[in-house]
Amino acid sequence: MAKGPILGAVLAGGRSRRFGSDKAMALLNGRTLLDHAMAALAPHVATVVICGRDGGLADRPRADLGPLGGLNAALHHAAAQGFAGVLTTGCDMPVYPAELPAALIGPGAAVLEGQQLLGWWPAGLAPELDAHLAEENDRSIRGWLARVDARVVQIPGLVLPNINRPEDLAAL
C-alpha cells in the first residue's frame, strides 16, 4: 500500500458531448452522478477533490486538456499537501469497487482495464505530467499511460457502468 495518505480525485471537467448535457449534474436516484462518484471514492481516501469544475481544482496548466488537465491538478495538489498519490475516478462512475484500491496502488501508475480514469498515480509523477503536457502530442490518456508504463489491472468478473449517453443512465 501507499506510504502516506491518499487523495481521491473525481475528474469532472469533460464536455459531455455524447451525453448532450452536463453529465456530472445528471441525476441517478435523486443524486447527481458527481455526488455518487464522490461518495463511492470517499471510503478509500483521506480527502476527495473535484477536478475541472467551478469550486474544485482548476485543470492544470489550463482548461480543455481533457482528463490529463484534471489529473495534473490533482497530482500537484497531492504533492503540495503531502499525499502519497491519487486515486482517480470519472464523474460518470457512480460506483468504486472495494477491491480496486488494493489492486491499483503500487510503486507506479496503474489503471483498471477498460476504465482508464480509474487509476492510481503516485504524487511524484506531477513533474513528468507537466513535461508531457508541454510537449507536442495528442494529450490522450493512452499516450500518458504509455509514457509512464502504467500497469493495467484486471479484476475478473467486475462489470462497471459505462455512462456516455442519456440512455446509458436510464438503463441503470
DSSP string over 106-132: SSS-EEETTEEEEEEEEGGGHHHHHHH
Binding residues for GTP: 11-13, 23, 64, 92
Binding residues for Mg(2+): 92
**Residue listed under C-alpha cell 455512462:** 163
Residue 119, phi then psi, degrees to nearest 5? -145, 170
Peptide bond into 166 cis (omega under 30): no
Does the CA dihedral 47-112-145-165 come out positive or negative? negative
Binding residues: 11-13, 23, 64, 92
> Taking the CA of residue 87 as centre, how many other CA atoms within 13 Å lie in the half-sphere pointing to its CB?
30
Those residues whose C-beta lies under 8 Å from the C-beta of residue 73, and which sit 6 or more positions away, are 9, 51, 52, 57, 58, 59, 60
**What distance separates the 2 farthest-apart alpha carbons in the chain?**
42
